[in-house]
Structure 1
Amino acid sequence: MSGVDLTRRTLLGAGAALVAMPAVARSRDPRVGPFIGLREDGVLAFKGIRYGRAVRFERAVAEPPATHPIKAQAFAPIAPQRGNPDMAQNEECHFLNVWTPDANPCAGRAVMVYFHGGAYSNGTVTDPLTHGGKLAAQGDVVVVTVNHRLNALGYAWLKPFDPRYADSGNLGQLDLILALDWVRDHVRNFGGDPARVMVFGQSGGGAKIATLIAMPAARGLFHSAATMSGQQVVASGPNNAWKRTQSLMAALKLAPGDVEALRTMPVERIIEALGATDPVMGGSLYFGPVLDMTNLPRHPFWPDAAPQSLHVPMILGNVREETRAFIDPRGPKLRGLGWDNLAARIAPEIKIDLDVDWVVARYRTQYPQWTPEQVFYSATTAGRSWPGQVIEADERAKAGAAATWVYQLDRPSPLDPLRGAAHTDDIPYVFGTLDAPGSMSGLDQGARMTRDLMMQAFTGLAKTGRPGLADWTPYTLPGRATLVVGDGTAQVVDDPRRWERELWATAPYVQPGS
C-alpha cells in the first residue's frame, strides 16, 4: 500500500483558518423577509421554516410566501416514527432550519444542505449533533437541515390501489426535492449562493442523496455531494414494495384493498404497525425508495452509476467498525462470544450470502492475532453496508465521473474503549458539535484536530468542488486512494482494506430493503 501523509502541521493550519473566522462580528439583524430568527453560536439561526404542505400519501406542494411576520426560533415537529419518542411528532413535518454568518443577499456563501439518518424510517435534524451553528461559523457557509416524511408515510407503495398514489413510493424523496427547490429560490436572502449548493447526509441521509442523483426532478438542484456511511446501490422493486404494503395492511387488520382506511386512520396506528415482520428481508417493515419508473426511473448505482450524477463531485465515507454502534459490545449478541459460536453470531448480521464458517476461517488465517470480537465487528461491517460504498466509488470511477474522494474514519472514541470507530462517529467532526449530547468524540486535541480536517474537507467541497485538503487524492481504479483519518491525523492510502474488499466481493451485495 502506498500513502501520503497529511501532517499535523498541515491540519493545524487548516484548523486555524477555520477557527479564525470572525463569525460573531458578521451576525446582524436576525430577520430575513417575514422570518424572525435569533442569534446562536455567533451566527443567525432560523428554525422551523415551513417549506411545504401535504395530504397523507400525496405529493407535497410548496408553502406560499408568508404575508405576516413569522417567528423562526424553535424547531418544528418531526416526522411520525418509532424512534425519538420524546420529541413532538406530526404529519405536518415539512420544515427546515437555516444557520448563516449573516443574511446579506450579496454574500454569496456556499450552502450545505443536510439530510438526516435513521434509514428511511426514523431520525431528525433536530438532534443536537446536527445543529448547524458551529459549522456555519467556523466554515463560513450557510447550513440548511431538513425534516421530511419517513417510513410508510413517505415510502409506502400504493399505486396498485389507485393511480392517484403514483408518487407514494418516493414521497420522502420528493419532499427533499421540494426543500431543495426552496433553497434554490430563497437561500440568497440568507447570504447563500444557489449556484453552490452541496448536499450531505449520514447513514440514511447518505442513501437519500445516492437516490436523489438518479431522480430527474433533482437534476441541477445541487452541485456537490457527500455521503457518510450511507449508500443506495439499488432501490426497492415495486413488487417487493407491494409485498411490504400488504404486510402493513395485514398488521393493521385491514381488508387488502381498504386504502381509504389506511389514508384516514390515526397516524399512531400506522407507526405501531411498522413493527410487523418485513416479508422480504426479515426484521421490522422496511419502507424506502421505489423503482417507480417515473420519479425514480432507474437504480442509483446498478447496473452502473446514474448518468445524471456523473458531473457532480462527491465525497464517500465510512467508519472502520460501523456495527459497534448498533450491535452493543456489552449486549446479548456479544455475550459469551467465542470461536465456537462466532459464525452463527455473524450470519444474521450480514447482507452478503457467504458460508460464514468459511468467512471466519479466512479471517483467522489472515489475522491470527485477532480476537473473536475483532473478527465479529470487522466481518459484520464489511459484509453489511461498507460494500455499497465500494460499489458506488468503483462505478463512478469506471464511468469517468467528476472526481470522487473516499475516506475511512479510524479514530476510536476516547469516551468508550469498546466503541472503537463506529456508525455516526463522523457527525460531530463535520458539524463541529464535539460537546453535543450523544457525541462520542471527546474534547481533546485529537478530537479538535479531527474536527478541523473533516470540516475543512467538507466545506472545501461545498465552496470549490474539491475537498479543502490539497493532498487528498481522488479515488480512481485500480488504486482506490482513501483518506484514512486517525486521531487528528490523516493519510492517503491505496485500497486500505483490500483483503476484506476482495473477500466480500466473492458474492453479490444485497442492498438492505431491495
Structure 2
Amino acid sequence: MSGAELTRRALLGSGAAALAAAATPLRAALAPPVACSAGRFFGTAEANGIRAYRGIRYGRAERFRAPAPFVYGPAPHPADTFGPVAPQAGGTYGLQSEDCLFLNIWTARPDRAAKLPVMLYIHGGAYSGGSVTDPLNDGAALAARGDVVVVTVNHRLNAFGYLYLARLNPRFPDSGNAGQLDLILALQWVRDNIAAFGGDPGRVMVFGQSGGGAKIATMLGMPAAKGLFHRAATMSGQQVTASGPLNATARARAYLARLGVDAGDLSPLLTMPQDRLVAALDAIDPILGGGVYFGPVLDMKWLTRHPFWPDANPQGLGIPMILGNVRDETRGFLSPDSDKVRGLTWDNVAARIAPELRIDILPEWVVAQYRAHFPDWSPTEVFYGATTAGRSWRGQVIEAESRAQAGAPAFVYQVDFTSRLDPRRGAFHTIDIPLVFGTIGAKGSHTGTGADAQAASQAMQNSFVAFAQTGDPNHTGLPQWPRYDLPRRATMVFDTVAHREDDPRRWQRELFARVPYIQPGT
C-alpha cells in the first residue's frame, strides 16, 4: 500500500469521512495541507504543477432557509473528491443531495505570498439544473497558466433554492433567494480563506455562463453581495428583471398543488423526501406555460429592485463587467432534430417562431423582414436568427446599453467560433465554456482540438485572465477592445482570429428594439 493511501486512510479514520463526496475517484497523491480559518485541507497534486482541492464544504442549510457558514474541526480533511450536486431532474452529474454547498479550488501556488487574482465560476442550467462538476468546467487548465486561482461553486437550485414561500408563510422569508444567498456565502468564504490558496481576496472575479451569468447580474444589485467581488463576466446569461412576488407566489401555489400540499399548511414540505420535490418540478407554470419557472424574486428583503430595470442597478456600476453572447444562441437549446425545427418551410416558420420569441410581436412580419433583408437565408436560418436576436441576445444588449448610459465600464464580446462536430449547431449556446476554461478536449466540447480551437481558446482565456488581474480584458496579441459605449457599440468577436466590430447585427438589434423585452420568468 502506498504512503499516500496510508495517509488518506488515516485521515478518513480521523473523522474526515464526514465530508460528503460524489462518486469521483481519487485522482493523485494527496498534496501537503493548506491551513485557513475554515480548516486544514489536503488536496491532490495533479499535472502541470496544479494543486486541486475538491469538495470543500462552505455552508449548511435547512430546507427553504438561508444558509449558515460551516467551519471544519481541527483535524485535517481530504479535499480530493467533488461534493454532491444540487437535486435536479436527471442524473447527469452523479450523486444529488440538498446538502450541496461545496466549492472546488485549483491553484498553482498555494502560498499566501502569491496574491493571484481569483476567478470564481457559477454554472449554468438556468436556476433549475447544472453543476460545476461538469468536465467542461474543470479549472485545472485555466489555473495551470499560473496567473489565477480558479474556484467553482455548487449551490441550491430549483425549488430548493428559489421556491418563494414568504407570502404563504412568514417562517420562510429567505426562500425565494436561498440559492443566491448560497453564492453570497461562498463569496464570503473566498474572502476569508482564499489567501491561503494563493488568491487575492481583493481581486475576485465572478464569471458564469447562462444561468450563472444571470445569477451574477442579479448579485450585482444585492446589498448582501456588496464588496465581495470586484469584476464580473456574464457569458450568455442576463437578468434584466427578477420574478415579481405575485407571480412567484402563483408559481409556488402551482408547485404545491402538484405535490398535493395545502398552501395553508407547508409543514409536509419540510419532511418530504427530496426525490418527491424533484419529481414535482414538472408542474405547469401558470404564467409562461411549460415547466414551472424558478429564479430570483423581488422579495424586498434580499433583492429590493430589479437588476437592470429601469436602469443598471447603481450598486454594480463601479464593478468592471464583460458581457458576452454567442452568435447562434438558440441552436444550443432548440435542436436541429427537434419537432420545432425539423421540416421548417416558409409556410410554417412564422407559426413555429411565435412561441419561441417570448415577446409579443407579429411573427409573420418578422419573417417577412428577415426574408427581405437576408434573401439567401433558409427558413431554418431565419428561425434561429430571429429567436436568438429576439429572445436570447436581447437581454445582453439591454444590460450593455444600460451600463453605457451610466458611464460604467463594460466590454462586450460575441463568439462566432462554430461547432466542429455538428456544423448545423453553429456558434451555439455553451460553446464558449470550453474556450474560456481551456477544456476543448473534454467530454461535451464541440470545439475540436485543432489549431483553430486552440487559438480561439487562448484569446478568450487571455482576455478573461487580464480582466481578472486589472479589470481590463486587453492583452498583447488581441486587437484593441474598447469599452462599450453608444452609439459605437464596440464588440470583440472571438473566432479562429479575434477581431473587433462596431455594432454587429445592428439591423437585428433595431428590429426587435421596436417592442418591449420580457425577461423569461418575469
Task: Give the TM-score category using the shorter length.
Answer: over 0.9
C-alpha distance in 1 between matches for 2:197 and 2:331? 39
Query: Paired residue for 2:34, among 32, 57, 63?
Result: 32
Task: Name stretches of at least 5 consecutive residues in structure 2 with no aligned partner.
Answer: 1-28
Q: Give 1:338-377 correspondences, 5 Å limit.
A: 338-377=345-384
Q: Give 1:304-453 correspondences, 5 Å limit.
A: 304-401=311-408, 403-453=409-459
Amino acid at match of 2:313: A
Amino acid at match of 1:332: D
CA contact (8 A) 1:28 1:102 kept: no
Identity %: 58
Secondary structure in 1 aligned to 2:386? helix
Give the aligned partner of residue 482 of structure 1. Answer: 491
Secondary structure in 2 aligned to 1:165? coil
C-alpha distance in 2 between matches for 1:197 and 1:53? 23
C-alpha distance in 2 between matches for 1:204 and 1:64? 29
C-alpha distance in 2 between matches for 1:324 and 1:120? 20
Question: In the TM superposition, what whole-angstrom CA distance separates every residue of 1:173-218 from its partner, at most 9, and x where no partner exists?
Answer: 0000000000000000000000000000000000000000010010
Counterparts in 2 of 1:127 and 1:98: CA distance versus 1, 3 Å: same
Amino acid at match of 1:134: A
Secondary structure in 1 aligned to 2:435? helix
C-alpha distance in 2 between matches for 1:385 and 1:420? 15
The answer on 1:165 being equivalent to 2:177 is no
Amino acid at match of 1:413: S
Query: Paired residue for 1:504, among 496, 501, 512?
Result: 512
C-alpha distance in 2 between matches for 1:424 and 1:111? 22
**Following TM superposition, by how much is the alpha carbon of 1:466 offset from its aligned partner in structure 2, in angstroms?**
0.5
Question: In the TM superposition, what whole-angstrom CA distance separates every residue of 1:128-187 from its partner, at most 9, and x where no partner exists?
Answer: 000100001126200000000000110111112322211111000000000000000000
C-alpha distance in 2 between matches for 1:231 and 1:49? 28
C-alpha distance in 2 between matches for 1:284 and 1:373? 26
Question: In the TM superposition, what whole-angstrom CA distance separates every residue of 1:210-257 from its partner, at most 9, and x where no partner exists?
Answer: 000010010000000000000000000000000000001100112221
CA contact (8 A) 1:434 1:442 kept: yes
Give the aligned partner of residue 6 of structure 2. Answer: none
**Following TM superposition, by how much is the alpha carbon of 1:102 offset from its aligned partner in structure 2, in angstroms?**
1.7
**Following TM superposition, by how much is the alpha carbon of 1:64 offset from its aligned partner in structure 2, in angstroms?**
1.8
C-alpha distance in 1 between matches for 2:160 and 2:133? 19
Counterparts in 2 of 1:467 and 1:83: CA distance versus 1, 3 Å: farther
Amino acid at match of 1:37: G
Secondary structure in 1 aligned to 2:268? helix
Amino acid at match of 1:474: R
Bigger drift between 456-465 and 343-352 goes to: 343-352
Question: In the TM superposition, what whole-angstrom CA distance separates every residue of 1:429-474 from its partner, at most 9, and x where no partner exists?
Answer: 1000011000011011110000000000000000011004361111
The answer on 1:53 being equivalent to 2:60 is yes
Secondary structure in 1 aligned to 2:171? helix
Secondary structure in 1 aligned to 2:391? coil
Provide the TM-score with structure 1 as the length reference: 0.93
Question: In the TM superposition, what whole-angstrom CA distance separates every residue of 1:342-400 from its partner, at most 9, and x where no partner exists?
Answer: 00111111122100000000000000011111101111111112100000000000011
CA contact (8 A) 2:436 2:461 kept: yes
C-alpha distance in 2 between matches for 1:186 and 1:468? 29
Provide the TM-score with structure 2 as the length reference: 0.92
C-alpha distance in 2 between matches for 1:485 and 1:442? 16
Secondary structure in 1 aligned to 2:203? strand
Query: Paired residue for 1:107, among 111, 114, 128?
Result: 114
C-alpha distance in 1 between matches for 2:118 and 2:200? 7
CA contact (8 A) 2:141 2:437 kept: yes
Bigger drift between 410-419 and 449-458 goes to: 410-419
Secondary structure in 2 aligned to 1:441? coil
**Following TM superposition, by how much is the alpha carbon of 1:35 offset from its aligned partner in structure 2, in angstroms?**
0.5
**Following TM superposition, by how much is the alpha carbon of 1:28 offset from its aligned partner in structure 2, in angstroms?**
11
RMSD of the alignment, in Å? 1.2
Secondary structure in 2 aligned to 1:211? helix
C-alpha distance in 2 between matches for 1:164 and 1:30? 44
C-alpha distance in 2 between matches for 1:139 and 1:423? 29
Q: Give 1:81-92 correspondences, 5 Å limit.
A: 81-85=88-92, 87-92=94-99
Amino acid at match of 1:177: I
Amino acid at match of 1:320: R
**Following TM superposition, by how much is the alpha carbon of 1:62 offset from its aligned partner in structure 2, in angstroms?**
0.2
Give the aligned partner of residue 463 of structure 2. Answer: 457
C-alpha distance in 2 between matches for 1:439 and 1:41? 21
Give the aligned partner of residue 218 of structure 1. Answer: 225
C-alpha distance in 1 between matches for 2:300 and 2:452? 47
Give the aligned partner of residue 286 of structure 1. Answer: 293
Query: Paired residue for 1:252, among 248, 259, 267?
Result: 259
Secondary structure in 2 aligned to 1:338? coil
C-alpha distance in 2 between matches for 1:416 and 1:396? 36
Give the aligned partner of residue 13 of structure 2. Answer: none
Amino acid at match of 1:57: F
Amino acid at match of 2:447: S
C-alpha distance in 2 between matches for 1:191 and 1:86? 29
Secondary structure in 2 aligned to 1:138? coil
Amino acid at match of 2:55: G
Amino acid at match of 2:385: S
CA contact (8 A) 2:85 2:93 kept: no
Secondary structure in 1 aligned to 2:208? strand
Q: Give 1:234-253 correspondences, 5 Å limit.
A: 234-253=241-260
**Following TM superposition, by how much is the alpha carbon of 1:492 offset from its aligned partner in structure 2, in angstroms?**
1.0
Task: Name stretches of at least 5 consecutive residues in structure 1 with no aligned partner.
Answer: 1-26
Q: Give 1:57-68 correspondences, 5 Å limit.
A: 57-68=64-75
**Following TM superposition, by how much is the alpha carbon of 1:29 offset from its aligned partner in structure 2, in angstroms?**
4.4
Give the aligned partner of residue 26 of structure 2. Answer: none
C-alpha distance in 2 between matches for 1:479 and 1:30? 52
CA contact (8 A) 1:305 1:395 kept: yes
